[in-house]
C-alpha cells in the first residue's frame, strides 16, 4: 500500500490502525549524536492529544511514546528510530452502525475502492489517529532543525470553514483549543463548531 512512507533523506514509515493494539513509526535518516528522550517527543504529543476540549475527538488516549530503538544513553545512534504508542481507548462497537455505510467525505471510501477491503472501526489507516506518529516523528525533525540550524517551527489555524484566523499573537496559539493565533476569532470559531455539531455536519 502506497503512502505509508514519506520523505527522502529523513524518512518516516508509519503503521497501525485506529482500533488496533497501537501505532508505530520507523524514522530513518536522523544523524547520530543528537540528544533525544521520550520527553522531547511527548511535549508535542500533549498538544495533539484528543479529549482535551469539546472541539476535538472525545477519545481518551494518553499517547505515551516509547523509543524502542535508535537511541543509546540518551543520544541517537544514526540507526532507524522505532517509536511505539499504544491504543487504549478504542471503542469498536461505537462504529457497528456504519459497518455497511460510508461517512461522506471520509477517506475509508477511497480505501475500499482502491484496495477492496475496509476497516470500518474508526476508519482504520484512514483515521486521524494515524497522525499521532507523524507528530512524534515531526518532533524529532523539529528538534534537529532547531539545534543544527537554529530554526523554530510552529503551526497554527489559519482558516476554519469560512472563518479566517490571522496570526496576530504567536504566544496565544497554545492557549486555546483551536491553536489560533487570533484572539478575536475564538468566539466565532466556537459558535461555528457548535452549529456544525447541532446540524450533524462535519468540517
| Mean pLDDT over each residue of the chain, to the nearest integer | 88
pLDDT tens, 89-135? 766 556 667 677 777 777 778 878 888 877 776 666 777 788 899 99
**Cα-Cα end-to-end distance for the chain:** 27
When pLDDT is averaged across residues 162-173 and rounded to a whole number, the result is 97
Sign of the four-CA dihedral 144, 80, 11, 127: negative
* Distance set, CA 61 to CA 23, 76, 97, 106, 188 (Å): 12, 27, 23, 22, 28
Tens-digit pLDDT profile for residues 128-143: 788 899 999 999 999 9
C-alpha cell at 191: 459558535
CB 85 within 8 A of CB 136: yes
Model pTM score: 0.84
Q: Which helix (H) or strand (E) holds 6?
A: strand 5-6
- The domain locations on the chain are 5-90+122-153, 154-197
Looking at per-residue pLDDT, the higher value among 25 and 200 belongs to: 25
Query: 5-90+122-153, what's its fold?
Result: Chorismate synthase, AroC fold (3.60.150)
| 158, pLDDT greater than 70 | yes
The pLDDT value recorded for residue 51 is: 61
The answer on pLDDT for 79 being more than 80 is yes
Mean pLDDT of 78-89: 94
Which of the two residues, 99 and 178, has the higher pLDDT score?
178
Amino acid at each position: 500500500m502506497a503512502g505509508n512512507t514519506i520523505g527522502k533523506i529523513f524518512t518516516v514509515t508509519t503503521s497501525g490502525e485506529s482500533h488496533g493494539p497501537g501505532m508505530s513509526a520507523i524514522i530513518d535518516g536522523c544523524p547520530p549524536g543528537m540528544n533525544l528522550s521520550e520527553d522531547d517527543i511527548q511535549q508535542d504529543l500533549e498538544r495533539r492529544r484528543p479529549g482535551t476540549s469539546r472541539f476535538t475527538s472525545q477519545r481518551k488516549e494518553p499517547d505515551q511514546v516509547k523509543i524502542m530503538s535508535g537511541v543509546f544513553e540518551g543520544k541517537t545512534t544514526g540507526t532507524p528510530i522505532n517509536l511505539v504508542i499504544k491504543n487504549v481507548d478504542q471503542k469498536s462497537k461505537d462504529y457497528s452502525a456504519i459497518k455497511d455505510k460510508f461517512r461522506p467525505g471520509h477517506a475509508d471510501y477511497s480505501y475500499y475502492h482502491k484496495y477492496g477491503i475496509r476497516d470500518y472501526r474508526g476508519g482504520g489507516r484512514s483515521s486521524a489517529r494515524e497522525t499521532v506518529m507523524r507528530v512524534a516523528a515531526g518532533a524529532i525533525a523539529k528538534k534537529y532543525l532547531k539545534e543544527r540550524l537554529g530554526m523554530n517551527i510552529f503551526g497554527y489555524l489559519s482558516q476554519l470553514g469560512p472563518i479566517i484566523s490571522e496570526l496576530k499573537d504567536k504566544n496565544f496559539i497554545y492557549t486555546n483549543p483551536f491553536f489560533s493565533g487570533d484572539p478575536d476569532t475564538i468566539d466565532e470559531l466556537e459558535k461555528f463548531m457548535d452549529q456544525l455539531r447541532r446540524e450533524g455536519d462535519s468540517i
